[in-house]
C-alpha cells in the first residue's frame, strides 16, 4: 500500500499533466502568443512537474518536490484564462499570476522544503495575499465580456489593476532575491554551491526581464531580452532538480559511511543539513573519517592487548612469589628441620656414648655434626635468599635493613614513610635492592653503597647507588635483566646508570602492582 503522501503526489502530478495539456491547447488556440512562446511556457510547466516528481521520489520526506510540482500547476492555471468559456474564465482570472507566490515560496524554502525564518514566512504570506487579492480585484474591474462578476467594467480599471499587480510582483521578486543573496553570502561553501544555480538564473532572468520591460516595445533589444528571460525561466526547474539530486547524492554517501566501513559497523556521525548537501566533499570526508575510526579502533585494540599482557605478567610475578614462599616454607619446615633433628641426635649420642668410643670415632662424629651445622646454615641462607621470612612478617623496610646489616660492606639506608604494601610489590623491591647490593659487593670495587626507599604518590621508588668502577648493564647477562622483566610485569620501570663515577640502579613500581 502506498504512503498517503505518495498518493497525494501522484494525484497532483496526474492533475498537473492533464491541466498542462488543456492549458497549452487553449493558449495555442487563442493565438495571442507566438508558437515559440507557447511551446516554451508549456515546456517550462512540464519541466516543473517532472522535476517535482523526481525530487519527491528521491527525497520523499522533503516537501520541496511538492513545491516544485505546484509551481508547474500554477503556471498552467495561469494559461486557463485563454479559455472561451465564461465560467472557467471567471474562475481562473484571479489566478493569472498564481505562479509568482508559489515560486517565491519554492525559492525561499529550497532546499529543505521549509521556511526557516519569520521574515521568509511574512514575505511568502504577503506574496500569496497580494497576488490573489489583486487577482480578485482585477476580476471585479475587468472589461472582458467573459467576466461574469465584473461590477465596474472599464479599460482603465483593468489597466490599473494589471499595473499594480506587476509592481507587486516586482517588489516580491526583489525581496526574494535579497533573501537569496543574503543566504548565499552568509552560508557555508556547500550551501553556496547548491544555491548558486538558482541565484544565477534568478538574477539573470530579473535583469533580462527588467531591461526588456524598461526599453519598451519599440526598442530592438526589448524582444530578445524578454525571450532570454523566458528561456532562463525554463531552466529554473532544472536548477532546483540539480540541487535536490546533489543533496541526495551527498546523503547517500553519508548513509554508507554511517552504517559501515569494510562491512563492519563503526560509528554514527551527526549530520549538519547545510554541510552535507555538497556531494563533492563526501569522498574526502569518507576517507578522513575512515582513517580516524580505524586509528581509534587499532589504538583501542592495542591498549586492550597491552592491558592483557600487563595483567598476565603481573599474574606470573604473583605466581612466582607464591612459589617462592611455598619453597621457603618447605625448606624451613622440611629439610632444615630434619637436619636440625639429626644434629641433635648425633650430639646426644656423643654425650651418652662418647667415653666408650674410640678417639677416631669421636672425631668422626664431631666432624659430622660440624658439617651438618654448616649445611643447616647454608640451607637457611638459601631459604632467606628465596624469600626472607622477615619480608613476609615485618615488611619491606625491615627486610632491606636486615639485608644491609648482613652484607659485608657499609650501607647507608634512607627510608621515607613506607607502609605495608602488596606482597608482589614488596618482594620485587626487596630483590632489586638485594641484586644491586650484591653486584656492588662483587664488581664495583667499593666498600659502601646508598639505598633510598620512598613512596611517591602512587609509586614506590627504590634506588641503590655505589661510587664504584661502573660497568653494570641491563644487557650484560646479570640478574638485573630478570629484575627488569619482574618490575615491568608489575607495570613499573627499571633503569641502570653506570659509568666511571659509579652505578645507580633505580626502580619505580606502581603501588597496586599492575
Query: Model confidence over 78-101: pLDDT tens digits?
Result: 889 889 988 888 888 888 888 888
Q: What is the DSSP letter of 272?
A: P
Fold classified for 393-510: Heat Shock Protein 90 (3.30.565)
Query: For residue 48, what are the CA distances in angstroms to 17, 69, 99, 334, 479?
Result: 11, 5, 11, 101, 86
Say how far apart CA 55 and CA 51 lie, in whole Å: 6
Q: What is the DSSP letter of 261?
A: B
Q: Which residues contact 339 (CB under 8 A, 6 or more apart)?
A: 372, 375, 376, 379
Calculate the CA dihedral of residues 11, 12, 15, 19 and round it to 10 degrees: -170
Closest by CA position to 459, among listed 506, 401, 390, 410: 506
User: How far, rounded to the nearest angstrom, does the alpha carbon of residue 76 sit from its chain's CA centroid?
Assistant: 49
pTM of the model: 0.51
Give the residue with greater pLDDT, 183 vs 319: 183
Cis peptide leading into 223, omega within 30 of 0? no
- The 3-class SS string of 102-160 reads HHHHHHHHCCCCCCCCHHHHHHHHHHHHHHHHHHHHHHHCCCCCCCCCCCCCCHHHHHH
User: pLDDT at position 195, please?
Assistant: 78
Say how far apart CA 415 and CA 396 lie, in whole Å: 10
Q: Which residues contact 462 (CB under 8 A, 6 or more apart)?
A: 429, 432, 433, 451, 452, 453, 506, 507, 509
Encode pLDDT of 5-24 as tens digits. Answer: 788 888 999 999 999 999 99
User: pLDDT at position 383, please?
Assistant: 59
Report the pLDDT averaged over residues 389-404: 86
CB neighbourhood size of 293 (10 A): 16
Q: What is the DSSP letter of 356?
A: G
The answer on pLDDT for 107 being more than 70 is yes
Cell of 318: 604473583
Encode pLDDT of 215-243 as tens digits. Answer: 777 777 777 887 887 888 888 888 888 87
Cell of 445: 670495587
Say how far apart CA 118 and CA 399 lie, in whole Å: 82
Q: What is the DSSP letter of 264?
A: B
Structural Rg of the chain based on CA atoms? 49
Q: Quick check: 139 and 123 in contact, CB under 8 A?
A: no
Report the pLDDT averaged over residues 270-295: 58
Give the residue with greater pLDDT, 258 vs 444: 444
Amino acid at each position: 500500500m502506498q504512503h498517503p503522501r505518495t498518493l497525494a503526489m501522484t494525484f497532483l502530478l496526474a492533475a498537473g499533466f492533464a491541466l498542462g495539456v488543456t492549458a497549452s491547447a487553449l493558449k495555442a488556440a487563442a493565438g495571442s502568443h507566438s508558437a515559440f512562446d507557447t511551446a516554451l511556457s508549456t515546456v517550462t510547466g512540464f519541466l516543473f512537474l517532472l522535476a517535482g516528481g523526481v525530487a519527491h521520489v528521491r527525497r520523499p520526506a522533503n516537501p520541496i518536490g511538492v513545491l516544485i510540482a505546484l509551481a508547474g500547476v500554477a503556471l498552467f492555471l495561469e494559461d486557463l484564462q485563454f479559455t472561451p468559456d465564461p465560467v472557467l474564465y471567471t474562475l481562473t482570472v484571479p489566478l493569472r499570476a498564481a505562479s509568482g507566490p508559489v515560486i517565491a515560496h519554492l525559492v525561499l524554502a529550497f532546499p529543505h522544503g521549509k521556511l526557516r525564518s519569520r521574515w521568509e514566512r511574512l514575505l511568502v504570506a504577503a506574496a500569496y495575499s497580494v497576488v490573489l487579492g489583486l487577482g480578485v480585484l482585477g476580476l471585479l474591474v475587468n472589461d472582458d465580456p467573459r467576466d461574469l462578476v465584473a461590477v465596474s467594467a472599464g479599460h482603465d480599471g483593468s489597466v490599473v489593476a494589471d499595473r499594480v499587480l506587476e509592481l507587486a510582483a516586482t517588489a516580491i521578486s526583489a525581496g526574494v532575491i535579497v533573501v537569496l543573496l543574503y543566504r548565499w553570502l552568509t552560508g557555508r561553501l556547500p550551501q553556496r554551491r547548491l544555491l548558486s544555480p538558482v541565484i544565477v538564473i534568478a538574477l539573470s532572468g530579473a535583469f533580462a526581464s527588467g531591461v526588456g520591460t524598461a526599453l519598451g516595445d519599440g526598442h530592438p533589444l526589448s524582444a530578445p531580452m524578454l525571450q532570454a528571460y523566458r528561456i532562463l525561466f525554463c531552466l529554473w526547474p532544472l536548477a532546483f532538480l540539480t540541487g535536490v539530486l546533489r543533496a541526495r547524492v551527498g546523503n547517500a554517501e553519508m548513509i554508507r559511511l554511517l552504517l559501515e566501513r569494510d562491512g563492519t559497523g563503526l560509528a554514527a556521525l551527526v549530520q549538519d543539513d547545510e554541510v552535507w548537501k555538497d556531494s563533492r566533499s563526501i569522498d574526502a570526508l569518507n576517507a578522513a573519517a575512515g582513517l580516524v575510526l580505524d586509528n581509534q579502533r587499532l589504538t583501542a585494540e592495542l591498549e586492550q592487548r597491552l592491558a592483557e599482557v600487563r595483567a598476565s605478567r603481573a599474574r606470573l610475578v604473583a605466581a612466582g612469589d607464591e612459589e617462592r614462599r611455598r619453597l621457603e616454607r618447605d625448606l624451613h619446615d622440611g629439610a632444615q628441620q630434619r637436619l636440625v633433628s639429626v644434629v641433635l641426635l648425633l650430639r646426644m649420642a656423643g654425650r651418652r656414648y662418647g667415653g666408650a668410643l674410640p678417639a677416631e670415632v669421636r672425631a668422626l662424629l664431631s666432624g659430622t655434626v660440624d658439617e651438618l651445622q654448616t649445611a643447616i646454615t647454608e640451607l637457611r641462607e638459601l631459604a632467606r635468599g628465596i624469600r626472607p621470612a622477615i619480608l613476609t612478617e615485618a615488611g619491606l623496610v625491615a627486610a632491606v635493613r636486615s639485608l644491609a646489616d648482613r652484607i659485608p660492606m657499609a650501607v647507608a639506608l634512607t627510608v621515607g614513610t613506607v607502609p605495608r604494601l602488596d606482597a608482589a610489590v614488596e618482594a620485587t623491591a626487596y630483590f632489586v635492592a638485594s641484586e644491586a647490593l650484591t653486584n656492588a659487593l662483587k664488581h664495583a670495587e667499593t666498600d659502601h653503597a646508598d639505598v633510598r626507599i620512598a613512596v611517591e604518590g602512587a609509586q614506590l621508588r627504590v634506588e641503590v647507588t655505589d661510587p664504584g668502577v661502573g660497568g653494570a648493564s641491563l644487557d650484560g647477562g646479570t640478574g638485573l635483566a630478570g629484575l627488569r622483566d619482574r618490575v615491568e610485569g608489575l607495570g613499573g620501570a627499571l633503569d641502570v646508570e653506570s659509568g666511571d663515577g659509579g652505578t645507580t640502579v633505580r626502580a619505580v613500581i606502581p603501588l597496586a602492582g599492575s
